[in-house]
Amino acid sequence: MITGKNYIGNQLSAKGSKTYKTFNPQLNINNENVFIEADSQEINEAVSLASNAFKECRTLSGKRKAEFLSAIADEILALDDELIKIYCSETGLPEGRAKGERGRTVGQLRAFAELLEEGSWVEATIDTAQPDRQPMPKSDIRKMLVPLGPVVVFGASNFPLAYSTAGGDTAAALAAGCPVIVKSHPMHAGTGELIASAIINAANKTGMPNGVFSNLNSSGIEVGTQLVSHPKVKAVGFTGSIRGGRALYDLAAKREEPIPVFAEMGSINPVVILPSALKNKGEALAKTYAGSITLGTGQFCTNPGLLLGIKGEELSHFIQNLSNEIVKVEPSCMLHPNIIGAYESNKQKALKQPELTVVADYNSDVKANYARQTVTTVEGATFIKNTTLHQEVFGPYSMVVQCENAEQLEQVISKLEGQLTGTLIADDDEAKQYYKVIDALQNRVGRIIYNGVPTGVEVCPSMVHGGPYPASTDSRFTAVGIHSIKRWVRPFSYQDWPNNLLPDELKNENPLKISRLVNNKQTKDVV
Amino acid sequence: MITGKNYIGNQLSAKGSKTYKTFNPQLNINNENVFIEADSQEINEAVSLASNAFKECRTLSGKRKAEFLSAIADEILALDDELIKIYCSETGLPEGRAKGERGRTVGQLRAFAELLEEGSWVEATIDTAQPDRQPMPKSDIRKMLVPLGPVVVFGASNFPLAYSTAGGDTAAALAAGCPVIVKSHPMHAGTGELIASAIINAANKTGMPNGVFSNLNSSGIEVGTQLVSHPKVKAVGFTGSIRGGRALYDLAAKREEPIPVFAEMGSINPVVILPSALKNKGEALAKTYAGSITLGTGQFCTNPGLLLGIKGEELSHFIQNLSNEIVKVEPSCMLHPNIIGAYESNKQKALKQPELTVVADYNSDVKANYARQTVTTVEGATFIKNTTLHQEVFGPYSMVVQCENAEQLEQVISKLEGQLTGTLIADDDEAKQYYKVIDALQNRVGRIIYNGVPTGVEVCPSMVHGGPYPASTDSRFTAVGIHSIKRWVRPFSYQDWPNNLLPDELKNENPLKISRLVNNKQTKDVV
């Protein structure tokens, strides 16, 4: 049942006076539940509880944390249809997508639980003492990863489950041993509250300290601003717009104690189509990309917003085919009037740029909140000069850049801002000739795809979801996959520490049987 | 031979008009060589060369990079007495220290060469395809660490070799595949130029691209500011004061594309002395700490500037013994008039605080640039209230905080800013009773030491040299040891990439025979 209240640790609380409702974009009406935004006192209480809980969280065994994460997964599944219903009513997304995203969310939680149970992720490193070393004896030193402290997670508009309340950031931070305070996304506050109730139930069932998790309702920027400024908050995870992410990054950088902000932000995901591939499979490609550009109404951060090719008959054919295919796609609903409003205004801003040609535009009537897909084309030289054209148009929109030759193609890529993904469409013998183009592309992205589409982010250890700025604020970390835990930890050394006082991960007898680097050799042996 | 010029890549260059000399603090006179500060054009040229060199550096094999690093080590040793002489003349430090630091520097370079030759540090992670998976086929995804781009390294005043031109930051960045531009420290510009010549020789001998390394002379903030603001610079390493490090951090955070700044800054390295240990070994401790506080004239970032104990007769005895011992130590020379000037003024600022008592003060005459050691004492409650007392006094100074009880001891620790190290002096049965104190200490530091001294930073894989702010600007990384390479790299994914186009680290046949995570199992097997 939705109460509209905040979870301040274990307690439902509604002290604030600001209220709001979520919106059903399919029905184009407000949903019924009223949500009460967290007030300043509740925010401070949540952070204070998290800071106290951290004292216990940081020493929890991997096994205990794994139990907690598995219990969250179980509790989410137990929400069953109630969750799916509210998810659909708050997003306009179809039931299949809701269930798919739930599966991914539960899968992420279980993957972290497995990681914790295995235990070697802490990168235990041991150098034993050499008391007789000359000219100075060598101490016994042992290192492992430890959690940073309370983490604030901002829910993402486009993934109410997988990137929000119990999404990747939360799962990774809890796995690391960091208490989490979620700033709930206003567009899916009900979904957020249900998931929060699942997390709180799981925390109670597995004996986690009060404050290990809080969920704060928020409709504007105030709650987030207060959280990121709070001295007891030690790191921030965010998925959303460049404007929002950069504002949080700037706020965190200005603190007396600056803290890491891992913000995954804008990306237009360039797709480079080499000439021979264009010739041999241009038609199939046009169909595939018409699908990828409109998938989920273009509301994926890996949506291909930029297609790059070398001018010629084949590219012209491809543009024609893509245009024909994309207008056949039935328009679909966006998440919220704000999202479609931004889509339309960003598209208009792009279309106002001189020398941009619209080649496909779905122009029949559509229902309220349904997005019309659009494809444009522009010359390489224009794209290089006019950086307004580099800006993301979040939605079913893509631009084809027609380059004069391979050299200009390389230039276009080199001028790009950092991206989550880059895609290369090539014939098998073709790629090697274009190594400079590929090199340039690799240098601008976090993940490179061969003969595929960038949409669809596999959750697995080898995934990198991140990339050079502004794809993310810190390209040294991924937001997806088990290694995203490293955003929330720091290395910590014990020097000459007595064996019985060391954490199990570093004890001589290796009670957890984890893999450790002992005197520069990776081993599961005892010391 | 010292020319006083900059290395802009391979070329000696002196286009600027600003000149300066280094200073011999033992003789209290300027050294003879004249150094020409890099001008704006030279800075741009160095960055441009580095950016071009990066195209080649990022694809260099581990073997090639290892040859380069080993050659640097050889070339440094070949500088022989010329290096030791200029080091001593620019620092006032004794020859033994010069040779010790050279050994450490060469050892660091060789340790990274070993890491590269072994090769597994890239964290190769492979998830193979599942074309038949339902409901969606799974792609083949492979991930490894790749370099960020050109890195700027700021030389440190107190370690002309180990933390400067070819120090830990430079070695780690070159090992990662990042070209390095050093902003040479003005106090040891001659030492810097000699080391730079060794690096350039090594680069030429091992066929590195021009621009892989540059060395820029600089006497003020202009060169560093221009470097950190340059769009083609991708990361910064710094060791020095909080003011300097924070200014660089702020500058980097304000860029259109913010970049990571790893700054290792101030630390007062609290030492907690528990009552029973104080009783049983207080006398020996006093001697040990008189030595640690004055070691290298207190010019180590791990210098113990804060001793914490619980009030009582034993603590009073300890303070008396420490005072007696420390005034016996023969004063020694500081690195530069600026350093001793800062020591004296920071000490005076501390001494002006009310309720601070001076218990030891070397008050005989000393030579110019020699530092007088001082010990003070203060009540726990005063220390908690007055954060001016938390500020580092870089030099042979330490303050004893007398706490009322264990609770206040824990409070004092909790109120501390982040530190590089924390030390616990305890009897074997005593530590467990004070677990809250230990917990609090762990949460404020990067390395914790049992019954030892914080001075002396072992270079080994298990070392953490870093810690919560302001000990460093990003506690998620260490500045010392092979794992410091992770500051300069980011993960990168290849999706469905053809085997022959993959880097060797990710090829099916595992030609480098490195350890990889393949389908979630760590192995050296082929795929």
Find, in chain A, the residue whose alpha carbon is nearest to that of B500: A432
Q: Looking at the complex, report in whole angstroms how far the Cα of residue B373 sits from the nearest Cα belonging to chain A.
A: 25
Whether residues A431 and B498 touch (CB distance < 8 A) is answered with yes
E-strand ranges in A155-292 read: 180-183, 213-216, 235-239, 261-264, 270-273
Q: Could you report the per-residue pLDDT of A235-292, keeping only the tens digit for each?
A: 999 999 999 999 999 999 999 999 999 999 989 999 999 999 999 999 999 999 999 9
Whether residues A493 and B439 touch (CB distance < 8 A) is answered with no
Average pLDDT over residues A171-182: 98
Cα–Cα distance for residue pair A143/A503, rounded to 1 Å: 10
| Predicted local confidence at residue A262, as pLDDT | 97
Q: Looking at the complex, report in whole angstroms how far the Cα of residue B108 sits from the nearest Cα belonging to chain A.
A: 14
Q: Which of B295, B476, B487, B496 to mutate to test the interface with A (most CBs of A within 10 A)?
A: B476
Residue-level length of chain B: 527
User: Does B264 qualify as catalytic in the annotation?
Assistant: yes
Given B301, B314, B403, B410, the catalytic residue: B301
Q: Is the pTM of this model over 0.90?
A: yes
Average pLDDT, chain A: 97
Whether residues A468 and B495 touch (CB distance < 8 A) is answered with no
CB atoms within 10 A of CB A114: 14
Q: Which of B114, B116, B495 to mutate to test the interface with A (most CBs of A within 10 A)?
A: B495
Q: For B473, which of A148, A258, A460 is closest by C-beta distance?
A: A258
**SS3 category, A326:** helix
Say what the ipTM of the complex is: 0.97
Q: Could you report the per-residue pLDDT of A115-161, keeping only the tens digit for each?
A: 999 999 999 999 999 999 998 899 999 999 999 999 999 999 999 99
Find, in chain B, the residue whose alpha carbon is nearest to that of A257: B469
pLDDT surpassing 90 at residue A201: yes
Q: Could you report the per-residue pLDDT of B286-321, keeping only the tens digit for each?
A: 999 999 999 999 999 999 999 999 999 999 999 999
Cα-based distances in Å from B4 to A491, B384, B467: 40, 48, 36
| Predicted local confidence at residue B266, as pLDDT | 86
Cα–Cα distance for residue pair B64/B105, rounded to 1 Å: 20
Q: Looking at the complex, report in whole angstroms how far the Cα of residue A425 sits from the nearest Cα belonging to chain B.
A: 11
Catalytic residues of A: 264, 301
- Look up residue B154 and give its two tokens: 């700021």
Average pLDDT over residues A304-312: 97
Show Cβ contacts of residue B416 under 8 Å, excluding neighbours closer than 6 positions: B268, B270, B306, B390, B444
Q: For B522, which of A477, A494, A515 is closest by C-beta distance?
A: A515
Helical packing angle, A62-91 and A189-205, nearest 10°: 160
Q: Could you report the per-residue pLDDT of B437-488, keeping only the tens digit for each?
A: 999 999 999 999 999 999 999 999 999 999 999 999 999 999 999 999 999 9
Find, in chain B, the residue whose alpha carbon is nearest to that of A51: B443
| Predicted local confidence at residue B370, as pLDDT | 97
| Predicted local confidence at residue A428, as pLDDT | 84
Q: For B452, which of A438, A489, A496 is closest by C-beta distance?
A: A496
Q: For B496, which of A249, A452, A473 is closest by C-beta distance?
A: A452
Show Cβ contacts of residue A210 under 8 Å, excluding neighbours closer than 6 positions: A9, A10, A49, A53
Secondary structure (DSSP) of B9-38 = TTEEE-----EE--EETTTTEE-S--EE--
- Find out whether A101 and A165 touch, Cβ atoms under 8 Å: no
Judging contacts by C-beta atoms under 8 Å, the chain B residues touching residue A496 are 449-452
DSSP B421: E
Question: Comparing C-alpha atoms, which of B127, B340, B463 is closest to residue A126?
Answer: B463
Judging contacts by C-beta atoms under 8 Å, the chain B residues touching residue A442 are 146, 492
Whether residues B466 and A490 touch (CB distance < 8 A) is answered with yes
Average pLDDT over residues A42-69: 97
| Predicted local confidence at residue B135, as pLDDT | 86
| Predicted local confidence at residue B1, as pLDDT | 85
Beta strands A125-127 and A35-36: pairing type? unpaired
Whether residues B443 and A59 touch (CB distance < 8 A) is answered with no
Find, in chain B, the residue whose alpha carbon is nearest to that of A135: B100
CB atoms within 10 A of CB A138: 15
Secondary structure (DSSP) of B87-124 = HHHHH---HHHHHHHHHHHHHHHHHHHHHHHH-GGG--
Whether residues A141 and B460 touch (CB distance < 8 A) is answered with yes
Judging contacts by C-beta atoms under 8 Å, the chain A residues touching residue B253 are 249-250, 253, 258
Find, in chain B, the residue whose alpha carbon is nearest to that of A506: B462
Whether residues B448 and A59 touch (CB distance < 8 A) is answered with no
- Look up residue A14 and give its two tokens: 């509604």
Cα–Cα distance for residue pair A376/A365, rounded to 1 Å: 20
Q: Looking at the complex, report in whole angstroms how far the Cα of residue B501 sits from the nearest Cα belonging to chain A.
A: 8
Q: What are the structural domains, with CATH classification, of chain B?
A: 6-265+477-487 (3.40.605.10), 270-450 (3.40.309.10)
| Predicted local confidence at residue A135, as pLDDT | 86
Give chain B's residues under pLDDT 50. Answer: none
Cα–Cα distance for residue pair B333/B71, rounded to 1 Å: 34
Average pLDDT over residues A42-59: 97
| Predicted local confidence at residue A416, as pLDDT | 97
A&B contacts, CB < 8 Å: 198
Q: For B476, which of A260, A464, A466 is closest by C-beta distance?
A: A260
Q: Could you report the per-residue pLDDT of A74-89, keeping only the tens digit for each?
A: 999 999 999 999 999 9
Cα–Cα distance for residue pair B237/B245, rounded to 1 Å: 9
Judging contacts by C-beta atoms under 8 Å, the chain A residues touching residue B458 are 127, 138-139, 141
pLDDT surpassing 90 at residue A226: yes
Gyration radius (Cα) of chain B, Å: 25
| Predicted local confidence at residue B488, as pLDDT | 98
Q: Which of A118, A139, A493, A506 to mutate to test the interface with B (most CBs of B within 10 A)?
A: A493
| Predicted local confidence at residue B428, as pLDDT | 84
- Look up residue B215 and give its two tokens: 């060395």
Q: Looking at the complex, report in whole angstroms how far the Cα of residue A364 sits from the nearest Cα belonging to chain B.
A: 32
The answer, yes or no, to whether the previous bond of A179 is cis (omega within 30 of 0) is no
Q: Could you report the per-residue pLDDT of A371-428, keeping only the tens digit for each?
A: 999 999 999 999 999 999 999 999 999 999 999 999 999 999 999 999 999 999 999 8
Q: For A458, which of B59, B139, B149 is closest by C-beta distance?
A: B139
- Look up residue A183 and give its two tokens: 């700033």
